[in-house]
C-alpha cells in the first residue's frame, strides 16, 4: 500500500508540472514556484517527462508542453471523428471526380488507421473498411504518413505494394505545418494505370488541401 500511495503522489506531482507549463514555458525556478515543489523534485520529474516527450524545451531552455501530448490528442477517437467529419465533402468530390475509392488515414503507432472511406461506383473497386489497420511500410498513404518531411512532399504513389493489381495515390493533410492524416484514392491498375500519379495527384492534393482548411 505504501508503494501505491507513493506512486500516486509522484503522478500528482507530474500532473502539477504539466498543468503549470500548459500556461506557457517556465524556467526551472519558476516551475518550482508554480507547483510548490522542491527544485530537485521538479527537475527530476520534468526531465523524466521530457524523456517521454510529454514535456519539451523552448529555444531558451524553459520547460513547455511536449509534442507527444498533441500526438495523443490527435489520435484519439474524438479527434478522428472530427477529422472524418471535416473530410466528408472533400472525399465525396475526390471519389466523384476520379471514379475511384477514396480513403482518409491517420498514423497510430506503427500502423495507419482508415477513419473515413467512400467506395468507387464501379463493380471492380478497392474496399477499405473504416477502422482497418494497415501497415505503414506499404502503400502510398504509409509513405506520406511515415515521412518526416511529409508536409513538404505533395503526394506519393504506390503500385501493387499492399495488394496485387491495385495502385493508389496519397497526399498529406497538413495543419499548422504538421501532417495529421493522408488522403488516398485507390483502384485497379487497369483503370489507374501503373503511373496513377499522372491521373490523380492533382485531385488528391486538392482534397488534402480542402481537409486541411476545414481543420484549421
Give the model's confidence band at 149: pLDDT under 50 very low, under 70 low, under 90 confident, else very high. Answer: very low
Q: What is the pLDDT of residue 62?
A: 94
Q: Given pLDDT bands bounded at 50, 70 and 90, which one contains residue 23? A: confident
CATH class of 76-215: alpha beta
CATH class of this structure's domain 2-66? mainly alpha
All CATH 3.30.450.40 domain ranges of the chain, comma separated, are 76-215
With a cut of 90, say whether residue 37 has pLDDT above it: yes
pLDDT at 150: 46
Distance between CA atoms of residues 208 and 15, nearest Å: 36
Q: Is the confidence at residue 8, as pLDDT, over 90? A: no
What is the structure's pLDDT at 64?
A: 92
Taking a C-beta distance cutoff of 8 angstroms, is the pair 91, 83 a contact? no
DSSP secondary structure letter of residue 114: E
Residue 78, pLDDT > 50, answer: no
The whole-number pLDDT of residue 2 equals 40
Maximum average pLDDT range among 76-90, 139-153, 177-191? 177-191
Higher-pLDDT residue of 54 and 94 is: 94
Q: Residues 110-129: what's their mean pLDDT?
A: 94
Phi first, then psi: what are they for 39, rounded to 5°? -55, -45
Do residues 56 and 66 touch, judged by C-beta distance below 8 A?
A: yes
pLDDT above 90 coverage of the chain, percent: 68
pLDDT at 55 (0 to 100) = 92
The residues of the chain that CATH labels 1.10.10.10 are 2-66
Contact present, 117 and 101 (Cβ < 8 Å): yes
> Which stretches does DSSP call E strand in the chain?
55-57, 63-65, 101-108, 111-118, 133-135, 156-159, 166-175, 178-188
Confidence of residue 61 (pLDDT cuts 50, 70, 90): very high
Average pLDDT over residues 51-78: 79
High-pLDDT (> 70) share of the chain, %: 89
**Selected residue with higher pLDDT from 8 and 69:** 69
**Can you give the pTM of this predicted structure?**
0.66
Amino acid at each position: 500500500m505504501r508503494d501505491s500511495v507513493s506512486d500516486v503522489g509522484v503522478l500528482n506531482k507530474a500532473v502539477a508540472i504539466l498543468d503549470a507549463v500548459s500556461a506557457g514555458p517556465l524556467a526551472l525556478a519558476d516551475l518550482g514556484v508554480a507547483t510548490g515543489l522542491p527544485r530537485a523534485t521538479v527537475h527530476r520529474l520534468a526531465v523524466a517527462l521530457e524523456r517521454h516527450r510529454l514535456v519539451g524545451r523552448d529555444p531558451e531552455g524553459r520547460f513547455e508542453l511536449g509534442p507527444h501530448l498533441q500526438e495523443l490528442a490527435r489520435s484519439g477517437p474524438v479527434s478522428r471523428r472530427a477529422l472524418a467529419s471535416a473530410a466528408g465533402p472533400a472525399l465525396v468530390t475526390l471519389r466523384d471526380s476520379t471514379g475511384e475509392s477514396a480513403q482518409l488515414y491517420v498514423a497510430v503507432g506503427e500502423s495507419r488507421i482508415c477513419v473515413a472511406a467512400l467506395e468507387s461506383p464501379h463493380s471492380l473497386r478497392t474496399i477499405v473498411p473504416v477502422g482497418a489497420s494497415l501497415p505503414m511500410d506499404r502503400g502510398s498513404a504509409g509513405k506520406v504518413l511515415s515521412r518526416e518531411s511529409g508536409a513538404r512532399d505533395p503526394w506519393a504513389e504506390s503500385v501493387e505494394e499492399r495488394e496485387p493489381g491495385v495502385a493508389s495515390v496519397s497526399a498529406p493533410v497538413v495543419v499548422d505545418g504538421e501532417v495529421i492524416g493522408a488522403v488516398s484514392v485507390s483502384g485497379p491498375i487497369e483503370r489507374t494505370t501503373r503511373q496513377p500519379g499522372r491521373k490523380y495527384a492533382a485531385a488528391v492534393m486538392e482534397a488534402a488541401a480542402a481537409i486541411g482548411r476545414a481543420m484549421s
